[in-house]
Structure 1
Amino acid sequence: MTLQFAPFIPWFILLALAVLALILATAGFARGVRGTGIRLLASAAVLAALANPLLMQEDREALSTVVPVIVDRSQSQETPERIAMTDAALEGLKDRLSRFARIEPRIVEVRDPATSDAPSTRLFEALASAISDVPPARIGAAVFITDGQVHDAPAAGQALGFNAPVHGLVTGKADEFDRRIEVLRAPRFGIVDEDQELSLRVFDDGRRTDTPATVTVRMNGEEIATLNATPGVETPFGFKVPRGGNNVLEFTVSATPGEVTEVNNKAIHLIEGIRENLRVLLVSGEPHAGERAWRNLLKSDAAVDLVHFTILRPPEKQDGTPINELSLIAFPTRELFVEKINDFDLIIFDRYQHRGVLPILYYDYIAEYVKKGGALLIAAGPEHAGEDSIAITPLASVLPAAPTGNMHEAAFYPRLSDQGKRHPVTRGLDGSAIEPPQWGRWFRSVDVDPPRGETVMTAADGRPLLVLDRAEEGRVAMLLSDQGWLWARGFEGGGPHVSLYRRIAHWLMKEPELEEEALKARASGRTLEVTRQTIAGDPGAATLRTPSGKTETLALTETAPGLYRGEKRMDETGLFTIANGEFSTLVHVGAVDAPEFKAMVSTLDTLKPIATETRGRIARLDDGKGGLRLPDILPVRGDVRIADDRRLLVRLTDETVLKGVNTLPLFAGFAGLAVLLLAMSATWWREGR
């Protein structure tokens, strides 16, 4: 209760009147005037009434004590056991806090930020945001429900912005352990078929062991090695990049019974395969107009080392010319087709026929070269349908089509077959989308029996024109016409001969981008994009297995013939397994070295320094018997000076809010009038004497 004034006239006038009253009273006392004291009292009463004294009383209400409860919902908390423990602890804590009318819990659940590619558990940022609109004096305590893997814990002595205990309720068990694997150092690029080396390490968090762990290594989905890695010791691994383009190395360490999670038992590394100059052997059976088209295409590519031989004069032609004058250099058949055949990435027979230049045994060597992973392209002309065709040599065992002996001599537009419209070698060739195709005609083709493999281009009446096939580990392509040079010369507008020839060559050399059946996935930030290439029908939805073990489906939409795509923004980050039919692949969403996956074992150590400094308590929720142990709440008044080893202390606030003010005027109404009348009456009474 306080006394305040609300004068009816300005203070300086009241002050002047008071001074005047004092002067008059002083003069009256000096001269001995009777009634001066009563007059002074009457003047004081009038001045007091003009000053309007008010008796004021505030009506205040006590404010609640805010207790922020920060719940860790990061990926390290996503194991079934920790989810159940977190949920039970949250419900129990809310029940205990609700028993105190003046305590206001503020629940904040913290998940991995959707905008972050390198997720981490940032609970103190969430705490600061939750109490940004609360005065520090109203904070009674802060409670964290977490596994202890917190990545933004402040250093000792760093201000939190309030003076109250910080408590931690830790999920998980005291004796937890977890096994994980990391790739420490590895090249991002590697030359195909050359030795590369990386190093990896297996970690056993929560315990120490010297027993080697088994690590299975896969390259592009195929198992290539098994390693024994001692936990905590760097393990080198040597390998070769099998192909150009993107290659996926997958490392899987054997699981240990009882470990926290198997999510981090896998690691991947992406390495871009770079080919050295491709070695191509081009053998032309005789000079013809199309020979220059092949030579110009291959010579224009700086990444190709071309070895080209042309049979200018067949052996059966006898005109008396000495053998040593038939060519500048001898055709090194043994060196090329026996000793160094495996050095070539691609062999092309361009209108070649068997005339005795190559011994018959050498065709068998070429067939074996293909079966062991080599690439062979046959660009056939009329000689392929003749009696000297290489299709009647041992090479026939790898050729997908056998000639009937007939040639078709008629103009036709090369067209894509139904498979060709979906095959990456021929899909989308410029001019193929319109009927008739917007390119020039060809005029002859080799007739063949129904071929093996895939017929991706057709000649007149649907006859095979371009056939692609696999022969054990190698690949074979047959172009059953020698008229491609017409496109190169621009006849009737020409055609996409460069794209076609280049795609054929790259498919033969197993470029991943041209595989007819493939499943690929890539991540851009948190967005996962899945691509399925197929020459069959709709492959259906893809199945995604998330790092936490959940299974999701992703619908794939056909964006081009034979090409299906789907994308989805993922809530989780880490290693995803994508499957569709018999195909599967791996992709890492987010940063590979994200803190959230480096440690999964629960710990008290991270929050303990802060709890000790603020006189809070860190406790495990697990009671060691499969149950939940939740501490009681103890409200205290004033600053917390000592920690309690059994309960969570909450400092109650003294803060209040003003609800209203009650005002009582002292000289209002009958009370003021009575005082004034009394003063005036006393003056008259004294004057009357």
Structure 2
Amino acid sequence: MVSLSIDFDPLVSWLALALACAPVAAFVLYALYARTRGSAVRAGAAVALALAIANPVVNEEERAPLKTIVPLIVDKSQSQRLGERTETAQSAVEILRDRLARFPQFEVREVEAGASVNGGSQTETRLFEALGTAIRDVPPSRLGGAIMITDGQIHDVPAGESALPPNIPLHALITGRENEFDRKVEFVRAPRFSIAGQPASLAYQVTDSDGDAAARPVSVQIFLNGDLVRTDATVTGAETPLELQLDRAGTNIIELAVGERPGELTTANNRAVAQMEGIRENLRVLLVSGEPHSGERTWRNLLKSDASVDLVHFTILRPPEKQDGTPINELSLIAFPTRELFVEKIEDFDLIIFDRYQYRNVLPTLYYDYIAQYVRGGGALLVAAGPEYAGENSIARTPLITALPATPTGGVIEQGYYPRISQEGQRHPVTRDLEGGQAEPPAWGRWFRAINVEKPDGIVAMYGPADEPLLVLNRFGEGRVGMLLSDHGWLWARGFEGGGPHVGLYRRIAHWLMKEPELEEEALTAVADGQTLTIRRQTMEEDVSAVLLRSPSGVETEITLEDNGNGIFQARIEADEVGLYEIVHGEFSTLAHAGPVDAPEFRSMISDTRIIAPAAEAGGGSVRRLLDSSGDLTVPGILPVRANTGASGRDWLGFRTTGETELLGVTRYSLFSGFLGLALLLLALGGTWYREGR
């Protein structure tokens, strides 16, 4: 395309040219008025001279037409993966790509837009944000229109206005069928925190989206941390209260599951999840010291320093058999409330500690059986043994022996030694990473006494002198028992020979006995940080097989765990879906929710033409479904249209064509340059001379 234009490039300024031409023009006008002979020739010569000085230039521009930009935005969000939507969208894209290619004046910009990422978590479908990015560098005059292929569930639709410049059409092609319906369950009320062991108040609702106002009876299964708690009967559309008791501190996952309705769109939102932090009430610990000794204060200080522990501590200062004639009314000692502690309120305690305690008629023999039953039923018992455990009055000679993991031989070893972590202890959470325990000898102080035992049950986590058991951890029925077979742990607290990690060791023993989830020997956990899942398998085994990962949409994948040493196997993966992931390994299973719990992407998954309609119609565009009533794909045709005309028809989509061009080059020709200008001047001057010669 070539265009011509004339411009002036004067040899002097326009002011100087005007000042020079003014007297000449006056003279010529006077001559013409007076009808002087030769005035016309002189006027022509003056004009020729003025034009030569004004230097007229012819511009020859070579231009190429610019293409019209047509953005094609394809929804790749998670709701688009339902049913046949992905295949429908892909087929439509291929057809539109082929039809638009028939018009060389159109340039198509394809953009795949999914769910937005805020802090690593997919939250909502933002197609208009993607459209704005695609046309950021395009002037309005070059936009012909835009196409969006989506299910209509868009979360950034501008309110009542088009996202494109005026009169630029936006066409929305909706995937999904017109008669879709779905059932979903969601939490109406779910607090973020609750006290473990006390009822938490929640509420949920089951909704059918087919527009039928009739309430339908449904059953809802309620899971807590993957375990089925109960099944509720409710009706659709009604808010149902739920009281649930958290069984542990830390993160708890509450899941609701409602049965599938025949023909519904998806079962992905037939499950709802709430994460609730369980706050443990103060743990109640009963510490019974058989007699005052150096290690007693170590236990007391440790337990009293923990704000989450309510400590009840008794020291047997005066056993019943001690008779020295002191009148009772002169004694300031508190009688040991044996019946209240070991019969009436024994179930109220989370842990019972016997510190160098021996059988001396303070507790009736039957009470030891009560303690054994308490442990068997889920309680926790710790025996911090001293020389008394090896003597004739040992508690191992009471009915409590059924719960104890080791029987004393009667021997007491009194020599210096370093407590050492056993091979099993290197993998056990209680002793695995005790500071200083990996060195040889260990980087902590020595102890000087240990109690000999035989046939220990459970796990020997630490060894004393001559590889004799020092720390034994065992399960008994539903409860747990620990035995520390030395009373010299206080040497670490006093800093003897550099001291040692007595706080970490004692606290871990106590919390393992009270079933702290983080200290389980065999555990499978998963934590989600945004879309990153960290899977952790804690085990006493040397090796583990791959775990099974089940995504929110039901896709199963085997994940190989990396050995991090000392019984920890771990894997980190990027989750590509928002929702609840289930991780299974043998008899263990756990749950983790990737992304926000209440993601807008799952609030409604029915394909909808109404959400985007106002924005499309504001610019003269259209909204239509890709599938007809029989399920056949119907992609409209493409037509270029002029401005201010209709942009859509029954079976076609229109796009404005631009008149913009691109300048490729400019060639300039000066009219009075070279021989042409010289010839014209000579001709004008020669005519003047000729006329004057006559």
State the secondary structure of the residue aligned to 1:513: helix
Q: Distance in 2 between matches of 1:32 and 1:284?
A: 142
- Once the two structures are superposed, residues 195-219 of structure 1 have per-residue CA deviations (whole angstroms, 9 ceiling, x without a partner) of 2211222333344462233322222
Q: Distance in 2 between matches of 1:302 and 1:14?
A: 98
- Once the two structures are superposed, residues 587-641 of structure 1 have per-residue CA deviations (whole angstroms, 9 ceiling, x without a partner) of 2233222222222211101111122222212111123434321111121122234
Conserved? CA contact 1:78–1:548, under 8 Å = no
Q: How far 1:412 moved relative to its partner?
A: 2.5
Conserved? CA contact 2:354–2:383, under 8 Å = yes
State the secondary structure of the residue aligned to 2:589: strand
Q: How far 1:238 moved relative to its partner?
A: 1.0
Unaligned 5+ segments in structure 2 are: none
Conserved? CA contact 1:636–1:650, under 8 Å = yes
Matched, 1:427 2:451: no
Matched, 1:105 2:111: no
345-354 or 162-171, which moves further after superposition?
345-354
1:93 maps to which of 92, 96, 99: 96
Conserved? CA contact 2:274–2:597, under 8 Å = no
Q: How far 1:261 moved relative to its partner?
A: 3.0
Conserved? CA contact 1:75–1:548, under 8 Å = no
Conserved? CA contact 2:183–2:264, under 8 Å = yes
Amino acid corresponding to residue 128 of structure 2 in structure 1: F
Amino acid corresponding to residue 44 of structure 1 in structure 2: V
Which residue is 1:141 aligned to?
A: 145
Q: How far 1:71 moved relative to its partner?
A: 1.0
State the secondary structure of the residue aligned to 1:456: strand
Structure 1 residues 32 and 293: alpha-carbon distance in aligned structure 2, compared to 1, 3 A threshold: closer
Matched, 1:64 2:67: yes
102-111 or 3-12, which moves further after superposition?
3-12
State the secondary structure of the residue aligned to 2:473: strand
Conserved? CA contact 1:3–1:54, under 8 Å = yes
Which residue is 1:360 aligned to?
A: 365
TM-score (norm 2): 0.90
Conserved? CA contact 2:547–2:558, under 8 Å = yes
48-57 or 582-591, which moves further after superposition?
48-57
Q: Distance in 1 between matches of 2:270 and 2:389?
A: 56
Which residue is 2:206 aligned to?
A: 202
Conserved? CA contact 1:96–1:632, under 8 Å = yes
Matched, 1:270 2:275: yes
Which residue is 1:440 aligned to?
A: 445
Unaligned 5+ segments in structure 1 are: none
Amino acid corresponding to residue 592 of structure 1 in structure 2: V
1:35 maps to which of 23, 35, 38: 38
Alignment of 1:41-190 (within 5 A): 41-79=44-82, 81-116=84-119, 117=121, 119-157=123-161, 160-190=164-194
Amino acid corresponding to residue 106 of structure 2 in structure 1: I
Structure 1 residues 674 and 365: alpha-carbon distance in aligned structure 2, compared to 1, 3 A threshold: same
Matched, 1:248 2:263: no
Structure 1 residues 411 and 615: alpha-carbon distance in aligned structure 2, compared to 1, 3 A threshold: same
Q: Distance in 2 between matches of 1:290 and 1:473?
A: 29
295-304 or 8-17, which moves further after superposition?
8-17
2:336 maps to which of 331, 344, 358: 331
Structure 1 residues 664 and 306: alpha-carbon distance in aligned structure 2, compared to 1, 3 A threshold: closer
- Once the two structures are superposed, residues 75-130 of structure 1 have per-residue CA deviations (whole angstroms, 9 ceiling, x without a partner) of 22233522211111111110111111111111111133444435211111111121
Q: Distance in 1 between matches of 2:489 and 2:129?
A: 67
Matched, 1:610 2:615: yes
2:386 maps to which of 381, 384, 389: 381
Which residue is 2:500 aligned to?
A: 495
- Once the two structures are superposed, residues 486-545 of structure 1 have per-residue CA deviations (whole angstroms, 9 ceiling, x without a partner) of 334444443332322222111111122222222223233343333332222233555443
1:282 maps to which of 243, 262, 287: 287
Alignment of 1:546-557 (within 5 A): 546-552=551-557, 556-557=561-562
Q: Distance in 2 between matches of 1:557 and 1:248?
A: 26
Conserved? CA contact 1:546–1:577, under 8 Å = yes
Structure 1 residues 243 and 2: alpha-carbon distance in aligned structure 2, compared to 1, 3 A threshold: closer
Percentage of identical aligned residues: 55
Amino acid corresponding to residue 588 of structure 2 in structure 1: F
Q: Distance in 2 between matches of 1:495 and 1:40?
A: 117
Conserved? CA contact 2:163–2:615, under 8 Å = no
Which residue is 1:192 aligned to?
A: 196
State the secondary structure of the residue aligned to 2:132: helix
Q: Distance in 2 between matches of 1:17 and 1:295?
A: 113
1:219 maps to which of 214, 221, 224: 224
- Once the two structures are superposed, residues 108-162 of structure 1 have per-residue CA deviations (whole angstroms, 9 ceiling, x without a partner) of 1113344443521111111112112111111111100111111111111466334
72-81 or 133-142, which moves further after superposition?
72-81
Aligned residues: 689
Which residue is 1:576 aligned to?
A: 581
Amino acid corresponding to residue 338 of structure 1 in structure 2: V
Structure 1 residues 5 and 417: alpha-carbon distance in aligned structure 2, compared to 1, 3 A threshold: same
TM-score (norm 1): 0.91
- Once the two structures are superposed, residues 353-402 of structure 1 have per-residue CA deviations (whole angstroms, 9 ceiling, x without a partner) of 33444333322222221122111112223333344433343323322223
Q: Distance in 2 between matches of 1:316 and 1:671?
A: 141
Conserved? CA contact 1:139–1:162, under 8 Å = no
Structure 1 residues 211 and 376: alpha-carbon distance in aligned structure 2, compared to 1, 3 A threshold: same
Which residue is 1:370 aligned to?
A: 375
47-56 or 584-593, which moves further after superposition?
47-56
Amino acid corresponding to residue 74 of structure 2 in structure 1: V
Conserved? CA contact 2:185–2:272, under 8 Å = yes
State the secondary structure of the residue aligned to 2:124: coil
Structure 1 residues 207 and 369: alpha-carbon distance in aligned structure 2, compared to 1, 3 A threshold: farther
Which residue is 2:539 aligned to?
A: 534
Amino acid corresponding to residue 576 of structure 1 in structure 2: Y
Q: Distance in 1 between matches of 2:59 and 2:674?
A: 17
Conserved? CA contact 2:220–2:258, under 8 Å = yes
1:340 maps to which of 332, 345, 348: 345
Alignment of 1:563-642 (within 5 A): 563-641=568-646
Matched, 1:659 2:664: yes
Conserved? CA contact 1:338–1:365, under 8 Å = yes
2:237 maps to which of 202, 210, 232: 232
Structure 1 residues 67 and 300: alpha-carbon distance in aligned structure 2, compared to 1, 3 A threshold: closer
Conserved? CA contact 1:452–1:469, under 8 Å = yes
State the secondary structure of the residue aligned to 1:203: strand
State the secondary structure of the residue aligned to 1:120: strand
